[in-house]
Structure 1
Amino acid sequence: MAPRTAAAAACVVLGLGLIGGAVTGSWLTGNSGGSGDGDSFTAAAALWHSVPVDQLFPPIVEGTGAGPGGADRTWTRIAVAPDSGCANAFDPLLRKALAPVGCQRLLRATYTDATQSYVTTVGILFTKADPAAMSSLSARFRNEGLDRRADLMPRPYAARNTVAAAFGDKQRASWTISVLTDAPVVAYAVSGWADGRTVDAPQPAADAMRSGATSAPAQGGLGQEAQGLADRVQRSLRKTVRSATETPS
Protein backbone atom coordinates (compact mmCIF):
# COMPACT_ATOMS: atom_id res chain seq x y z
CA MET A 1 0.00 0.00 0.00
CA ALA A 2 2.79 2.45 0.97
CA PRO A 3 4.77 2.01 -2.27
CA ARG A 4 1.62 2.45 -4.34
CA THR A 5 0.70 5.61 -2.39
CA ALA A 6 4.23 6.93 -2.81
CA ALA A 7 4.10 6.31 -6.52
CA ALA A 8 0.76 8.05 -6.81
CA ALA A 9 2.13 10.93 -4.77
CA ALA A 10 5.04 11.22 -7.15
CA CYS A 11 2.57 11.59 -9.99
CA VAL A 12 0.63 14.26 -8.24
CA VAL A 13 3.57 16.21 -7.33
CA LEU A 14 3.52 18.49 -10.10
CA GLY A 15 0.70 20.70 -9.70
CA LEU A 16 0.78 22.97 -6.86
CA GLY A 17 3.79 24.72 -7.90
CA LEU A 18 1.38 27.01 -9.50
CA ILE A 19 -0.15 28.49 -6.60
CA GLY A 20 2.54 30.73 -5.66
CA GLY A 21 4.90 32.41 -7.89
CA ALA A 22 4.69 34.28 -11.08
CA VAL A 23 1.25 35.52 -10.28
CA THR A 24 2.46 37.26 -7.12
CA GLY A 25 1.31 37.27 -3.53
CA SER A 26 -2.32 37.85 -4.46
CA TRP A 27 -2.53 34.08 -4.90
CA LEU A 28 -2.12 33.70 -1.18
CA THR A 29 -5.27 35.58 -0.36
CA GLY A 30 -7.48 35.14 -3.39
CA ASN A 31 -7.83 38.92 -3.52
CA SER A 32 -6.39 39.58 -6.95
CA GLY A 33 -8.01 42.63 -8.43
CA GLY A 34 -8.25 41.21 -11.95
CA SER A 35 -7.99 38.08 -14.00
CA GLY A 36 -4.22 38.47 -14.39
CA ASP A 37 -1.93 38.05 -17.34
CA GLY A 38 -3.17 35.43 -19.79
CA ASP A 39 0.29 33.97 -20.36
CA SER A 40 0.84 33.54 -16.62
CA PHE A 41 -2.56 31.95 -16.21
CA THR A 42 -1.84 29.46 -19.00
CA ALA A 43 1.62 28.67 -17.65
CA ALA A 44 0.24 28.09 -14.18
CA ALA A 45 -2.32 25.65 -15.53
CA ALA A 46 0.43 23.48 -17.04
CA LEU A 47 3.05 23.48 -14.26
CA TRP A 48 1.51 20.68 -12.22
CA HIS A 49 2.94 18.26 -14.78
CA SER A 50 6.51 18.82 -13.62
CA VAL A 51 6.82 19.88 -9.97
CA PRO A 52 8.23 17.29 -7.47
CA VAL A 53 6.06 16.39 -4.51
CA ASP A 54 8.54 17.75 -1.99
CA GLN A 55 8.31 21.16 -3.63
CA LEU A 56 4.56 20.96 -3.78
CA PHE A 57 4.08 19.72 -0.24
CA PRO A 58 7.35 20.19 1.66
CA PRO A 59 8.09 17.42 4.20
CA ILE A 60 8.72 20.06 6.88
CA VAL A 61 7.08 23.50 6.96
CA GLU A 62 8.39 26.11 9.36
CA GLY A 63 5.83 28.58 10.66
CA THR A 64 7.72 31.33 12.43
CA GLY A 65 5.16 33.41 14.30
CA ALA A 66 2.27 31.42 12.82
CA GLY A 67 0.70 30.23 16.08
CA PRO A 68 -1.54 32.01 18.59
CA GLY A 69 0.17 35.04 20.04
CA GLY A 70 2.91 34.84 17.44
CA ALA A 71 4.21 31.49 18.65
CA ASP A 72 6.32 29.48 16.23
CA ARG A 73 4.99 26.37 14.53
CA THR A 74 6.61 23.44 12.72
CA TRP A 75 4.45 21.14 10.61
CA THR A 76 5.45 17.69 9.39
CA ARG A 77 3.86 16.09 6.36
CA ILE A 78 2.41 12.70 7.28
CA ALA A 79 0.57 11.74 4.10
CA VAL A 80 0.10 12.72 0.46
CA ALA A 81 -3.16 11.62 -1.12
CA PRO A 82 -3.16 10.02 -4.56
CA ASP A 83 -4.18 12.65 -7.08
CA SER A 84 -7.83 12.37 -7.91
CA GLY A 85 -10.95 13.89 -9.27
CA CYS A 86 -13.47 15.66 -7.08
CA ALA A 87 -16.41 13.24 -6.98
CA ASN A 88 -15.97 12.17 -3.35
CA ALA A 89 -13.60 14.85 -2.15
CA PHE A 90 -16.11 17.57 -1.25
CA ASP A 91 -19.43 17.77 0.53
CA PRO A 92 -22.32 18.08 -1.94
CA LEU A 93 -22.91 21.80 -1.47
CA LEU A 94 -19.25 22.70 -1.92
CA ARG A 95 -19.04 20.46 -4.97
CA LYS A 96 -22.08 22.28 -6.39
CA ALA A 97 -20.57 25.69 -5.64
CA LEU A 98 -17.34 24.74 -7.42
CA ALA A 99 -19.07 23.09 -10.38
CA PRO A 100 -18.94 26.18 -12.66
CA VAL A 101 -15.13 25.96 -12.86
CA GLY A 102 -14.91 22.18 -13.23
CA CYS A 103 -12.37 19.78 -11.75
CA GLN A 104 -9.16 18.96 -13.58
CA ARG A 105 -7.18 17.46 -10.71
CA LEU A 106 -7.24 17.55 -6.90
CA LEU A 107 -4.03 17.30 -4.88
CA ARG A 108 -3.93 16.99 -1.08
CA ALA A 109 -1.52 16.42 1.79
CA THR A 110 -2.04 16.16 5.54
CA TYR A 111 0.33 17.59 8.15
CA THR A 112 0.64 17.48 11.93
CA ASP A 113 2.24 19.97 14.31
CA ALA A 114 5.39 19.27 16.35
CA THR A 115 3.37 17.97 19.31
CA GLN A 116 1.09 15.85 17.12
CA SER A 117 -1.87 17.56 18.76
CA TYR A 118 -3.38 18.91 15.53
CA VAL A 119 -3.81 17.71 11.97
CA THR A 120 -4.36 19.82 8.87
CA THR A 121 -5.15 18.88 5.30
CA VAL A 122 -4.01 21.26 2.56
CA GLY A 123 -5.70 20.92 -0.82
CA ILE A 124 -5.26 22.37 -4.28
CA LEU A 125 -8.00 21.99 -6.85
CA PHE A 126 -6.93 22.60 -10.44
CA THR A 127 -9.99 23.68 -12.37
CA LYS A 128 -10.88 23.68 -16.07
CA ALA A 129 -11.84 27.34 -16.00
CA ASP A 130 -10.60 30.39 -17.89
CA PRO A 131 -9.73 33.68 -16.12
CA ALA A 132 -13.25 35.06 -16.49
CA ALA A 133 -14.82 32.02 -14.84
CA MET A 134 -12.33 32.09 -11.97
CA SER A 135 -12.99 35.79 -11.42
CA SER A 136 -16.73 35.16 -11.41
CA LEU A 137 -16.45 32.37 -8.86
CA SER A 138 -14.08 34.41 -6.69
CA ALA A 139 -16.57 37.30 -6.67
CA ARG A 140 -19.39 34.96 -5.71
CA PHE A 141 -17.42 33.44 -2.83
CA ARG A 142 -16.48 36.90 -1.61
CA ASN A 143 -19.87 38.58 -2.02
CA GLU A 144 -21.92 35.70 -0.63
CA GLY A 145 -19.46 34.75 2.11
CA LEU A 146 -19.23 31.18 0.83
CA ASP A 147 -15.74 30.79 2.27
CA ARG A 148 -17.21 31.20 5.78
CA ARG A 149 -20.11 28.77 5.53
CA ALA A 150 -19.70 25.61 7.58
CA ASP A 151 -21.76 23.64 5.07
CA LEU A 152 -19.12 24.49 2.47
CA MET A 153 -16.13 23.26 4.46
CA PRO A 154 -13.59 21.16 2.55
CA ARG A 155 -13.17 17.55 3.60
CA PRO A 156 -9.94 16.36 5.25
CA TYR A 157 -7.67 13.58 4.05
CA ALA A 158 -7.49 10.95 6.81
CA ALA A 159 -4.52 8.66 6.18
CA ARG A 160 -4.44 5.20 7.71
CA ASN A 161 -1.77 4.38 10.28
CA THR A 162 -1.03 8.04 10.98
CA VAL A 163 -2.09 10.51 13.66
CA ALA A 164 -4.67 11.73 11.12
CA ALA A 165 -6.40 8.34 10.87
CA ALA A 166 -9.45 9.65 12.77
CA PHE A 167 -9.57 13.00 10.96
CA GLY A 168 -13.03 12.74 9.44
CA ASP A 169 -15.83 15.12 8.57
CA LYS A 170 -17.04 15.41 12.18
CA GLN A 171 -13.53 16.31 13.34
CA ARG A 172 -13.24 19.42 11.17
CA ALA A 173 -12.66 22.45 13.40
CA SER A 174 -11.44 25.33 11.23
CA TRP A 175 -10.79 26.01 7.56
CA THR A 176 -9.78 28.51 4.91
CA ILE A 177 -10.61 28.43 1.21
CA SER A 178 -9.50 30.77 -1.57
CA VAL A 179 -10.64 30.99 -5.17
CA LEU A 180 -7.69 32.35 -7.10
CA THR A 181 -8.08 34.62 -10.08
CA ASP A 182 -4.53 34.53 -11.44
CA ALA A 183 -4.58 30.77 -11.95
CA PRO A 184 -7.18 28.02 -12.42
CA VAL A 185 -6.82 27.02 -8.77
CA VAL A 186 -8.95 26.76 -5.63
CA ALA A 187 -6.74 26.39 -2.55
CA TYR A 188 -7.84 25.36 0.93
CA ALA A 189 -6.84 23.98 4.31
CA VAL A 190 -8.91 22.33 7.04
CA SER A 191 -7.72 21.54 10.56
CA GLY A 192 -8.78 19.52 13.59
CA TRP A 193 -7.51 17.82 16.73
CA ALA A 194 -5.41 14.70 16.30
CA ASP A 195 -7.23 12.81 19.07
CA GLY A 196 -10.35 12.39 16.94
CA ARG A 197 -12.64 14.59 19.03
CA THR A 198 -15.75 15.81 17.26
CA VAL A 199 -16.44 19.51 16.79
CA ASP A 200 -20.00 20.77 17.13
CA ALA A 201 -19.32 24.32 15.94
CA PRO A 202 -16.44 24.61 13.46
CA GLN A 203 -15.29 28.13 12.71
CA PRO A 204 -13.62 29.67 9.66
CA ALA A 205 -9.98 30.49 10.26
CA ALA A 206 -10.47 34.24 9.84
CA ASP A 207 -13.01 34.25 12.68
CA ALA A 208 -11.12 31.79 14.89
CA MET A 209 -8.00 33.97 14.70
CA ARG A 210 -9.72 37.16 15.83
CA SER A 211 -8.63 38.67 19.11
CA GLY A 212 -11.00 37.70 21.88
CA ALA A 213 -12.54 34.74 20.01
CA THR A 214 -13.71 32.16 22.56
CA SER A 215 -14.88 29.19 20.48
CA ALA A 216 -13.20 25.83 20.93
CA PRO A 217 -11.38 26.09 17.57
CA ALA A 218 -10.21 29.61 18.47
CA GLN A 219 -9.01 28.62 21.93
CA GLY A 220 -7.24 25.60 20.48
CA GLY A 221 -5.46 27.64 17.81
CA LEU A 222 -7.05 25.66 14.98
CA GLY A 223 -7.57 28.80 12.89
CA GLN A 224 -3.84 29.49 12.99
CA GLU A 225 -3.14 25.88 12.08
CA ALA A 226 -5.25 26.07 8.94
CA GLN A 227 -4.33 29.58 7.83
CA GLY A 228 -0.67 29.42 8.77
CA LEU A 229 0.01 26.15 7.02
CA ALA A 230 -2.00 27.09 3.93
CA ASP A 231 -0.11 30.36 3.56
CA ARG A 232 3.30 28.77 3.94
CA VAL A 233 2.75 25.81 1.67
CA GLN A 234 1.55 28.17 -1.03
CA ARG A 235 4.32 30.69 -0.39
CA SER A 236 7.03 28.05 -0.74
CA LEU A 237 5.72 27.28 -4.20
CA ARG A 238 6.14 30.81 -5.45
CA LYS A 239 9.83 30.19 -6.06
CA THR A 240 9.01 27.24 -8.28
CA VAL A 241 6.52 29.22 -10.32
CA ARG A 242 8.83 32.20 -10.64
CA SER A 243 11.73 30.13 -11.90
CA ALA A 244 9.46 28.25 -14.31
CA THR A 245 7.98 31.37 -15.87
CA GLU A 246 10.92 33.80 -15.89
CA THR A 247 12.47 34.52 -19.26
CA PRO A 248 16.24 33.92 -19.19
CA SER A 249 18.19 37.12 -19.62
Structure 2
Amino acid sequence: MKIALLGYGKMGQVIERIAIERGHEIVLKKDENNTFEGLSNADVAIDFSVPSAAVSNISSCFHANVPVISGTTGWLEDYEEMVQLCTDKKGAFISSSNFSLGVNIFFEINEYLAKIMSKFDSYSVGMEEIHHTQKLDAPSGTAISLAKGIIENSSYNEWTLENATANEIHIETKRIGTVPGTHSVTYNSAVDAIEIKHTAHNREGFALGAVIAAEWIVGKEGVFTMKDVLEL
Protein backbone atom coordinates (compact mmCIF):
# COMPACT_ATOMS: atom_id res chain seq x y z
CA MET A 1 0.00 0.00 0.00
CA LYS A 2 1.27 3.48 -0.91
CA ILE A 3 0.71 6.06 1.82
CA ALA A 4 0.82 9.87 1.74
CA LEU A 5 1.71 11.40 5.11
CA LEU A 6 0.16 14.84 5.51
CA GLY A 7 2.05 16.29 8.45
CA TYR A 8 5.51 14.99 9.25
CA GLY A 9 5.97 15.85 12.91
CA LYS A 10 6.56 13.37 15.70
CA MET A 11 3.35 11.46 14.97
CA GLY A 12 4.03 11.38 11.25
CA GLN A 13 7.47 9.92 11.85
CA VAL A 14 6.11 7.17 14.11
CA ILE A 15 3.41 6.38 11.54
CA GLU A 16 6.09 6.17 8.84
CA ARG A 17 8.12 3.64 10.83
CA ILE A 18 5.11 1.45 11.68
CA ALA A 19 3.78 1.60 8.10
CA ILE A 20 7.13 0.50 6.68
CA GLU A 21 7.35 -2.28 9.28
CA ARG A 22 3.95 -3.49 8.04
CA GLY A 23 5.20 -3.57 4.44
CA HIS A 24 3.82 -0.26 3.15
CA GLU A 25 5.53 2.48 1.13
CA ILE A 26 5.54 6.21 1.90
CA VAL A 27 5.12 8.22 -1.32
CA LEU A 28 4.65 11.71 0.19
CA LYS A 29 5.80 13.36 3.41
CA LYS A 30 4.17 16.79 3.54
CA ASP A 31 4.58 19.55 6.05
CA GLU A 32 3.72 23.24 5.76
CA ASN A 33 6.82 23.89 3.63
CA ASN A 34 6.18 21.61 0.67
CA THR A 35 3.52 20.64 -1.88
CA PHE A 36 1.07 17.81 -2.56
CA GLU A 37 3.29 16.39 -5.30
CA GLY A 38 2.99 12.61 -5.15
CA LEU A 39 -0.48 12.58 -3.58
CA SER A 40 -2.08 11.18 -6.73
CA ASN A 41 0.20 8.13 -6.47
CA ALA A 42 -1.08 7.24 -3.00
CA ASP A 43 -3.60 4.53 -2.17
CA VAL A 44 -4.47 6.37 1.05
CA ALA A 45 -3.47 9.51 2.96
CA ILE A 46 -2.94 9.84 6.71
CA ASP A 47 -3.30 13.38 8.05
CA PHE A 48 -1.66 14.27 11.36
CA SER A 49 -0.96 17.92 10.67
CA VAL A 50 -2.16 21.09 12.41
CA PRO A 51 -5.69 22.56 12.65
CA SER A 52 -4.94 25.33 10.13
CA ALA A 53 -3.84 22.79 7.49
CA ALA A 54 -6.40 20.03 8.02
CA VAL A 55 -9.17 21.26 5.71
CA SER A 56 -6.76 21.94 2.85
CA ASN A 57 -5.14 18.53 3.29
CA ILE A 58 -8.43 16.62 3.47
CA SER A 59 -10.07 18.44 0.55
CA SER A 60 -6.94 17.91 -1.60
CA CYS A 61 -7.24 14.18 -0.96
CA PHE A 62 -10.87 14.06 -2.04
CA HIS A 63 -10.12 16.03 -5.21
CA ALA A 64 -7.31 13.55 -5.96
CA ASN A 65 -9.61 10.55 -5.29
CA VAL A 66 -7.44 9.44 -2.36
CA PRO A 67 -9.10 8.06 0.80
CA VAL A 68 -8.08 10.00 3.91
CA ILE A 69 -7.54 9.11 7.55
CA SER A 70 -7.43 12.27 9.69
CA GLY A 71 -6.20 12.37 13.26
CA THR A 72 -5.81 16.15 13.39
CA THR A 73 -8.01 17.84 15.98
CA GLY A 74 -9.07 21.45 16.50
CA TRP A 75 -10.70 21.96 13.07
CA LEU A 76 -14.06 20.22 13.50
CA GLU A 77 -16.17 23.34 12.84
CA ASP A 78 -15.52 22.41 9.18
CA TYR A 79 -16.21 18.68 9.61
CA GLU A 80 -19.65 18.67 7.95
CA GLU A 81 -18.24 20.54 4.96
CA MET A 82 -15.59 17.82 4.55
CA VAL A 83 -18.23 15.10 4.91
CA GLN A 84 -20.24 16.73 2.11
CA LEU A 85 -17.16 17.00 -0.11
CA CYS A 86 -16.38 13.34 0.55
CA THR A 87 -19.92 12.42 -0.50
CA ASP A 88 -19.80 14.63 -3.60
CA LYS A 89 -16.48 13.12 -4.70
CA LYS A 90 -17.50 9.56 -3.77
CA GLY A 91 -14.49 9.43 -1.48
CA ALA A 92 -13.68 7.61 1.74
CA PHE A 93 -13.03 9.31 5.06
CA ILE A 94 -12.33 8.58 8.71
CA SER A 95 -11.76 11.42 11.14
CA SER A 96 -11.09 10.49 14.74
CA SER A 97 -9.92 12.35 17.81
CA ASN A 98 -7.90 9.26 18.70
CA PHE A 99 -6.97 6.18 16.65
CA SER A 100 -5.55 4.20 19.57
CA LEU A 101 -7.21 0.80 19.83
CA GLY A 102 -7.24 1.12 23.62
CA VAL A 103 -8.84 4.55 23.54
CA ASN A 104 -11.58 3.39 21.21
CA ILE A 105 -12.35 0.53 23.60
CA PHE A 106 -12.31 3.18 26.36
CA PHE A 107 -14.87 5.22 24.39
CA GLU A 108 -17.21 2.21 24.41
CA ILE A 109 -16.76 1.65 28.15
CA ASN A 110 -17.38 5.37 28.77
CA GLU A 111 -20.69 5.29 26.89
CA TYR A 112 -21.83 2.12 28.65
CA LEU A 113 -20.95 3.54 32.06
CA ALA A 114 -22.76 6.80 31.26
CA LYS A 115 -25.96 4.86 30.51
CA ILE A 116 -25.74 3.09 33.86
CA MET A 117 -24.89 6.23 35.84
CA SER A 118 -27.70 8.26 34.28
CA LYS A 119 -30.06 6.40 36.63
CA PHE A 120 -28.28 7.62 39.76
CA ASP A 121 -28.51 11.36 40.33
CA SER A 122 -26.43 11.21 43.52
CA TYR A 123 -23.31 11.06 41.32
CA SER A 124 -21.80 13.96 39.40
CA VAL A 125 -19.30 13.45 36.59
CA GLY A 126 -16.01 15.20 35.94
CA MET A 127 -13.13 14.65 33.53
CA GLU A 128 -9.39 15.25 33.43
CA GLU A 129 -6.99 15.12 30.50
CA ILE A 130 -3.19 15.45 30.64
CA HIS A 131 -0.95 15.98 27.61
CA HIS A 132 2.52 17.19 26.70
CA THR A 133 3.25 20.90 26.68
CA GLN A 134 3.45 21.06 22.86
CA LYS A 135 -0.17 20.04 22.32
CA LEU A 136 -1.93 22.93 20.57
CA ASP A 137 -5.59 22.39 21.52
CA ALA A 138 -7.26 22.18 24.92
CA PRO A 139 -9.27 20.28 25.84
CA SER A 140 -8.02 17.43 23.70
CA GLY A 141 -10.18 16.02 20.93
CA THR A 142 -10.26 12.76 22.86
CA ALA A 143 -11.66 14.53 25.93
CA ILE A 144 -14.33 16.18 23.80
CA SER A 145 -15.25 12.79 22.33
CA LEU A 146 -15.54 11.33 25.83
CA ALA A 147 -17.75 14.24 26.91
CA LYS A 148 -19.99 13.77 23.86
CA GLY A 149 -20.27 10.08 24.70
CA ILE A 150 -21.55 10.99 28.15
CA ILE A 151 -23.91 13.70 26.84
CA GLU A 152 -25.48 11.30 24.33
CA ASN A 153 -26.21 8.79 27.09
CA SER A 154 -27.26 10.97 30.04
CA SER A 155 -29.01 14.19 31.06
CA TYR A 156 -25.82 16.24 30.69
CA ASN A 157 -26.04 18.67 27.77
CA GLU A 158 -22.67 20.44 27.57
CA TRP A 159 -19.03 20.38 28.67
CA THR A 160 -17.06 23.30 30.06
CA LEU A 161 -13.56 24.26 31.17
CA GLU A 162 -15.07 26.57 33.79
CA ASN A 163 -17.05 25.76 36.95
CA ALA A 164 -19.80 23.39 35.88
CA THR A 165 -23.53 23.82 36.43
CA ALA A 166 -25.79 20.84 37.15
CA ASN A 167 -26.08 19.84 33.48
CA GLU A 168 -22.48 20.52 32.47
CA ILE A 169 -19.40 18.28 32.51
CA HIS A 170 -16.27 19.95 33.83
CA ILE A 171 -13.09 19.08 31.93
CA GLU A 172 -9.81 19.83 33.67
CA THR A 173 -6.88 20.17 31.28
CA LYS A 174 -3.21 19.86 32.19
CA ARG A 175 -0.08 20.25 30.06
CA ILE A 176 2.89 18.48 31.64
CA GLY A 177 6.28 17.57 30.19
CA THR A 178 6.14 14.91 27.47
CA VAL A 179 2.98 13.07 28.62
CA PRO A 180 1.51 11.40 25.49
CA GLY A 181 -2.05 11.37 26.82
CA THR A 182 -4.00 10.46 29.96
CA HIS A 183 -7.80 10.69 30.21
CA SER A 184 -10.00 9.94 33.20
CA VAL A 185 -13.74 10.11 33.86
CA THR A 186 -14.89 10.18 37.48
CA TYR A 187 -18.39 9.83 38.93
CA ASN A 188 -18.30 11.26 42.45
CA SER A 189 -20.87 11.06 45.25
CA ALA A 190 -20.86 11.84 48.96
CA VAL A 191 -19.98 8.25 49.79
CA ASP A 192 -17.71 7.02 46.99
CA ALA A 193 -16.30 7.57 43.52
CA ILE A 194 -16.13 5.50 40.33
CA GLU A 195 -13.27 6.23 37.94
CA ILE A 196 -12.29 4.91 34.51
CA LYS A 197 -8.94 5.89 33.07
CA HIS A 198 -6.82 5.43 29.95
CA THR A 199 -3.09 6.11 30.01
CA ALA A 200 -1.03 6.12 26.82
CA HIS A 201 2.57 5.04 27.38
CA ASN A 202 3.82 6.41 24.04
CA ARG A 203 2.69 7.46 20.54
CA GLU A 204 2.84 3.91 19.15
CA GLY A 205 -0.81 3.11 19.87
CA PHE A 206 -2.08 6.21 18.06
CA ALA A 207 0.13 5.51 15.05
CA LEU A 208 -0.70 1.80 14.82
CA GLY A 209 -4.43 2.51 14.94
CA ALA A 210 -4.12 5.07 12.14
CA VAL A 211 -2.24 2.60 9.93
CA ILE A 212 -4.80 -0.13 10.65
CA ALA A 213 -7.59 2.32 9.69
CA ALA A 214 -5.71 3.16 6.47
CA GLU A 215 -5.40 -0.52 5.60
CA TRP A 216 -9.13 -1.00 6.25
CA ILE A 217 -10.45 1.96 4.23
CA VAL A 218 -8.72 1.27 0.90
CA GLY A 219 -11.34 0.29 -1.69
CA LYS A 220 -14.26 1.60 0.33
CA GLU A 221 -16.58 4.58 -0.22
CA GLY A 222 -18.24 6.63 2.49
CA VAL A 223 -17.68 8.27 5.86
CA PHE A 224 -16.70 5.85 8.61
CA THR A 225 -15.54 5.78 12.22
CA MET A 226 -13.15 3.64 14.23
CA LYS A 227 -16.20 1.68 15.40
CA ASP A 228 -16.49 0.43 11.82
CA VAL A 229 -12.78 -0.43 11.64
CA LEU A 230 -12.76 -2.30 14.96
CA GLU A 231 -16.30 -3.73 14.61
CA LEU A 232 -17.33 -2.30 17.97
TM-score by length of 2: 0.30
Greater helix share, 1 or 2?
1
Which of these two proteins has the greater Rg computed from alpha carbons? Answer: 2
Question: Greater relative contact order: 1 or 2 (C-alpha under 8 angstroms, separation 6 or more)?
Answer: 1
TM-score by length of 1: 0.29
